[in-house]
């Protein structure tokens, strides 16, 4: 739901850029170290200079009346005002107090201006971001689409931020600016409303759906057959993992979704669904898409690695199934770890709720953006998970000097010039070209300028000439009203007004769950989701043929929803929304595969059978469930393998009697996950093209273009992976569970066949490959954890380190100790409910986490509980920097105060903002 604020540029030419990035940061951090040692000045004065004032009084010129900011021991603010604009003005001021450096980095990302802060190393990243044009679209939204009321709130928020920045030197805003000042004459600019709107574009980018899968399928064609690729992308297992909505159908007479209708099974073909069609494939197209994938790795992933593995959990249970008799709602978005956390906890309260001051809401916000994203008001609660709709398509474009080809005619590009300012260097100018589908992303890499000679396109395709380009069509590149939706959600009072708010939540497309004080629960799938004339979005489409264009968007009224389902609960965890055989429109072909969602369903069913009731603590316990679903399939087979090597047999014994839980101190979990990683590598990873495998993963392979028997002219070559380890394949997510599930029933399969190398023996059967994986895992963990298996533990292997933005991602260890925190030894794992994600192709380190957890006790709000990954403060060494992390790691929650009385009882500091 990212390690990832200024991600290192990737691969080949980018490797040199990566070295330059590290050198720049090295200069900064060395200067910081030197400064810290200078009379203690940096260690005390500079660090503490940016700590916020949280008591007393502060004057803000724009306020119309006093505003109170009440903070508890965790530094979580509750803001009280008499006027809506004052409320958001104060929100801007307070978030800038705690998190402005984070806000500033984010807006430089969304505007493609990282080079202004961090120099030449970020030029190519900025160029790609400028090509996407997030900031331009955000400006258009603000100018032409958003409501006057929303713009009023955004302007008030910006005024609050700027009131904080006024008359403050950068070093007094955050210690990172003091470090930047040593190498860069950087000036903080005023905050603008568009800076806030643009953040939604970054959020949408990281939750964009199946774009990486679209690229990967095409890249696989250089090594695998169409049948093999289909095996690696199996159909969603509806029989095993129930979708979110298990009832309902589109009423043909009205065109609207009816959640009470009995679904009738169709022919399995959804609108625009021509499975597997499209010209993406090997040769030149693979070369282009491989380079595009490298470019994508350079884009800062603000939320997390994009792909199947990352997701979120949310569920809501009706009062008839709870101990309180009122609904309970849980949410924990899975995003990459950041320091500070992506989320900022806060309450926004009108002292007297009325028609002129309507907000009494608390929950999780984004610093840099007004309003509450996830939380509750006095009537309703809501949560979010990523729906995963396919809202991006790549188009191959036949381009020439004068334009691009469509239906035999050349159309001119839409072009613009962009200037990238570079700290310590000369300005760079780029030209951004767009086709009718969207920006020509292939312009952003020298490797994409010319394609190869074997693009697998049909006879009707135009002559490739100098090559095909690649353009991107994406719903977020069109102005939308998602910012309007945030405020409407914050003041919704019932399911009708909740759905009305959701209608404008266009990008990114999210699963919205709901509960209210009247005892109702519900679900809505909103979003701007395209309807395709041809194709199913799984492969790049031919841009030169207009019959492949989008024909519109699924009407909101047609999108699935439900209210008070008979089963008494609703679970969303990135699984399929509804069975595609009963729904007429294509939402995506690339759902999460439902391991987490089905586990949550099973836990709820188990708890409520025979009249049992679910308590708030049961909800918390479910959030920390760490059972490995793949272990239930694979472990029984591993125990049957006849192992003769006494050292490997010693490790195998760890799996005997294991209950499949992944506790931090579990030796069995450590060994099993190492075996799983090696099974994937042997069976699949070594058969994938280099563009999908992790950097440093080198194997001897036959050249992709080779034909006939291996001989001196066609011999094996050394080939190393090129993908960032966090996004390499096979990642071990629950898609791979479904790939392996049927294969485990087959003693012989082409996937079990491996040629072996100087360390591994060749394998031909399932059990031979499993035995080799067990051996490889034994020696891998011996190297990592020691020879004595009794000292092994999953937590020692599976660690989380929280890294401060930018300056905490590189440099000497002393600086990382100053700015970063950790490591924490964690339980949980990939596709577990407690989704402390790791990428099996890249290693065991934690790369995404439940970024926050909340359990809302609807109606009895003060009995709700929550926790953040880090803390309220973005200031290193502040007491609220990581004060919640230990509790988070243990699965504990804090009291979430809401009522005025509860807030007063918890207050530690009170600040009054005065006109």
SS3 (DSSP) at 388: coil
Residue 846 has pLDDT above 60, yes or no: yes
pLDDT attached to residue 714: 55
What band does 462 get if pLDDT is binned at 50, 70 and 90?
Answer: confident
DSSP 274-341: -TT-SS--SHHHHHHHHHHHHHHHHS--SS---SSS--EEEEEE-GGGBTTSS-EEEEEEEE---BS-
User: 438 near 132, Cβ under 8 Å?
Assistant: no
Element (H, E) at 232: helix 226-232
Cα angle, residue 377 at apex, residues 617 and 484 outer, rounded to 5°? 125
Structure tokens that stand for 823 in this block: 């490591």
User: 719 near 690, Cβ under 8 Å?
Assistant: yes
User: 774 near 638, Cβ under 8 Å?
Assistant: yes
Residue 7 has pLDDT above 60, yes or no: no
CB atoms near residue 708 (< 10 Å)? 7
What average pLDDT does range 584-603 have in this prediction? Answer: 95
pLDDT attached to residue 313: 97
- The residue among 415 and 125 whose pLDDT is bigger is 415
Residue 19 has pLDDT above 70, yes or no: no
Cα angle, residue 555 at apex, residues 551 and 557 outer, rounded to 5°? 165
Residue 277 has pLDDT above 60, yes or no: no
How do strand 249-250 and strand 77-81 relate by DSSP bridges?
Answer: unpaired
Show the beta-strand stretches assigned E in 169-240. none
Lowest mean pLDDT among 170-184, 524-538, 804-818: 804-818
- Where do we find the tokens 């909103």? 526
User: 427 near 120, Cβ under 8 Å?
Assistant: no
How do strand 717-720 and strand 698-701 relate by DSSP bridges?
Answer: antiparallel
What band does 294 get if pLDDT is binned at 50, 70 and 90?
Answer: low
Residues whose CB is less than 8 angstroms from the CB of residue 319 and which lie 6 or more positions away in sequence, other chains included? 325, 326, 327, 519, 858
Burial (CB < 10 A; 0-12, 13-18, 19+), residue 360, is buried
User: 66 near 913, Cβ under 8 Å?
Assistant: yes
pLDDT attached to residue 309: 45
What torsion do the CA atoms of 342, 347, 353, 356 make, to the nearest 10 degrees?
-40
Helix locations, 493-553, DSSP H: 495-502
Q: Kindly report the three-state secondary structure assignment for every residue of 760-792.
A: CCCECCHHHHHHHHHHHHHHHHHHHHCCCHHHC
pTM, full prediction: 0.92
pLDDT in tens, 773-789: 999 999 999 999 999 99
pLDDT in tens, 421-442: 999 899 999 999 999 999 998 8
pLDDT attached to residue 564: 98
User: Rounded to an integer, what distance in angstroms lies between the CA atom of residue 627 and that of residue 622?
Assistant: 11
pLDDT in tens, 807-825: 656 544 566 677 899 999 9
What band does 632 get if pLDDT is binned at 50, 70 and 90?
Answer: very high
By percentage, how much of the chain surpasses pLDDT 90? 72
What band does 282 get if pLDDT is binned at 50, 70 and 90?
Answer: very low
pLDDT in tens, 718-763: 889 988 898 899 999 999 999 999 999 999 999 999 987 656 789 9
What average pLDDT does range 100-129 have in this prediction? Answer: 92
- Where do we find the tokens 């599976």? 798
pLDDT attached to residue 310: 56
User: Rounded to an integer, what distance in angstroms lies between the CA atom of residue 104 and that of residue 195?
Assistant: 9
User: Rounded to an integer, what distance in angstroms lies between the CA atom of residue 102 and that of residue 107?
Assistant: 9
pLDDT attached to residue 291: 63
What average pLDDT does range 111-123 have in this prediction? Answer: 92
Lowest mean pLDDT among 251-255, 275-279, 600-604: 275-279
By percentage, how much of the chain surpasses pLDDT 70? 84
Lowest mean pLDDT among 287-296, 543-552, 673-682, 712-721: 287-296
- The residue among 401 and 499 whose pLDDT is bigger is 499
Structure tokens that stand for 860 in this block: 């009895």
User: Rounded to an integer, what distance in angstroms lies between the CA atom of residue 853 and that of residue 625?
Assistant: 13
pLDDT attached to residue 285: 55
User: 369 near 352, Cβ under 8 Å?
Assistant: no
Residue 577 has pLDDT above 50, yes or no: yes
User: Rounded to an integer, what distance in angstroms lies between the CA atom of residue 699 and that of residue 719?
Assistant: 6
- Where do we find the tokens 């709107």? 197
């Amino acid at each position: 739901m990212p390690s990832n604020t200024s991600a290192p540029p990737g691969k080949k030419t980018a490797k040199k850029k990566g070295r330059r990035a590290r050198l720049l940061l090295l200069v900064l951090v060395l200067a910081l170290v030197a400064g810290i040692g200078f009379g203690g000045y940096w260690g005390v004065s500079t660090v503490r200079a940016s700590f916020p004032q949280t008591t007393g009084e502060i004057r803000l010129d724009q306020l119309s009346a006093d505003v109170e900011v009440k903070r508890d021991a965790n530094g979580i603010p509750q803001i009280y005002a008499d006027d809506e604009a004052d409320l958001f003005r104060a929100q801007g001021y307070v978030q800038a107090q705690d998190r402005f450096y984070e806000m500033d980095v984010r807006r430089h990302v969304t505007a493609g201006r990282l080079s202004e802060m961090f120099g030449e190393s970020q030029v190519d990243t900025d160029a790609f971001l400028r090509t996407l044009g997030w900031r331009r679209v955000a400006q258009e939204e603000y100018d032409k689409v958003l409501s006057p009321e929303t713009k009023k709130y955004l302007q008030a928020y910006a005024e609050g931020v700027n009131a904080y920045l006024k008359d403050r030197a950068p070093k007094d805003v955050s210690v990172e600016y003091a470090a930047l000042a040593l190498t860069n004459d950087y000036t903080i600019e005023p905050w603008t409303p568009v800076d806030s709107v643009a953040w939604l574009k970054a959020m949408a980018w990281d939750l964009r759906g199946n774009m990486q899968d679209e690229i990967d399928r095409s890249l696989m064609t250089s090594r695998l057959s169409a049948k093999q690729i289909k095996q690696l992308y199996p159909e969603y297992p509806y029989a095993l993992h129930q979708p979110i909505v298990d009832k309902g159908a589109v009423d043909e007479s009205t065109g609207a979704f009816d959640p009470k209708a009995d679904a009738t099974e169709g022919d399995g073909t959804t609108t625009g669904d021509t499975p597997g069609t499209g010209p993406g494939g090997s040769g030149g197209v693979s070369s282009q898409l491989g380079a595009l994938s490298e470019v994508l790795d350079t884009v800062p992933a603000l939320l997390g690695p994009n792909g199947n593995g990352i997701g979120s959990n949310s569920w809501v249970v009706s009062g008839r199934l709870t101990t309180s008799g009122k609904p309970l709602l849980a949410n924990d978005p899975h995003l990459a770890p950041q320091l500070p956390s992506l989320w900022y906890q806060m309450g926004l309260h009108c002292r007297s709720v009325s028609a002129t001051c309507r907000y009494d809401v608390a929950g999780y916000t984004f610093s840099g953006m007004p309003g509450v994203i996830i939380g509750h008001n006095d009537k309703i609660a809501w949560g979010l998970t990523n729906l995963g709709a396919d809202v991006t398509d790549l188009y191959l474009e036949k381009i020439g000097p004068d334009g691009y080809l469509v239906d035999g005619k050349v159309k001119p590009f839409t072009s613009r010039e962009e200037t990238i300012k570079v700290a310590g260097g000369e300005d760079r100018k780029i030209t951004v070209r767009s086709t009718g589908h969207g920006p020509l992303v292939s312009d952003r890499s020298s490797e994409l300028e010319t394609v190869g000679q074997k693009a697998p396109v049909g006879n009707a395709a135009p002559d490739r000439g100098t090559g095909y380009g690649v353009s991107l069509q994406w719903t977020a590149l069109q102005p939308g009203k998602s910012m309007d939706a945030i405020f409407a959600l914050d003041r919704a009072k019932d399911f009708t007004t909740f759905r009305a708010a959701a209608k404008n939540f266009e990008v990114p497309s999210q699963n919205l769950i709901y509960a209210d004080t009247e005892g109702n629960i519900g679900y809505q799938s909103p979003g701007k989701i395209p309807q395709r004339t041809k194709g199913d979005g799984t492969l790049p489409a031919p841009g030169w043929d207009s019959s492949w264009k989008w024909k519109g968007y699924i009407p909101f009224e047609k999108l699935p929803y439900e209210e008070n389902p008979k089963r008494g609960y609703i679970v969303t965890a990135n699984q399929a929304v509804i069975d595609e055989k009963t729904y007429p429109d294509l939402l995506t072909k690339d759902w999460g595969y439902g391991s987490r969602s089905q586990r949550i369903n099973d836990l709820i069913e188990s708890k409520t059978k025979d009249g049992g009731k679910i308590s708030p603590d049961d909800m918390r316990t479910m959030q920390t469930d760490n059972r490995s679903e793949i272990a239930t399939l694979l472990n029984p087979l591993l125990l049957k393998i006849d192992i003769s090597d006494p050292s490997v047999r010693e490790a195998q014994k760890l799996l005997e009697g294991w209950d499949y839980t992944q506790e931090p101190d579990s030796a069995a979990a450590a060994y099993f996950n190492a075996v799983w990683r090696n099974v994937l590598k042997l069976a699949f990873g070594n058969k994938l093209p280099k563009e999908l495998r992790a950097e440093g993963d080198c194997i001897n392979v036959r050249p992709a273009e080779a034909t006939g028997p291996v001989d001196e002219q066609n011999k094996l070559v050394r080939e190393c992976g090129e993908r960032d380890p966090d996004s390499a394949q096979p990642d071990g997510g629950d898609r791979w569970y479904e790939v392996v599930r049927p294969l485990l029933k087959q003693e012989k399969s082409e996937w079990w066949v491996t040629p072996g190398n100087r360390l591994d023996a060749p394998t031909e059967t399932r059990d031979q490959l499993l035995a080799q994986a067990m051996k490889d895992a034994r020696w891998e963990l011996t190297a990592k954890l020691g020879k004595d298996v009794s000292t092994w533990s999953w937590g020692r292997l599976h660690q989380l380190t929280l890294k401060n933005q930018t300056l905490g991602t590189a440099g000497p260890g002393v600086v990382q100790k100053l700015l970063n925190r950790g490591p924490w030894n964690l339980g949980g794992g990939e596709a577990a409910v407690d989704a402390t994600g790791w990428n099996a192709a890249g290693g065991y380190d934690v790369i995404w986490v439940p970024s926050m957890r909340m359990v809302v006790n609807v109606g009895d709000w003060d009995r709700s509980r929550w926790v953040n990954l880090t803390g309220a403060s973005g200031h290193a060494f502040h007491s609220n920097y990581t004060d919640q992390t230990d509790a988070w790691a243990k699965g504990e929650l804090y009291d979430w105060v809401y009522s005025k009385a509860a807030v007063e009882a918890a207050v530690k500091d009170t600040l009054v903002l005065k006109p």
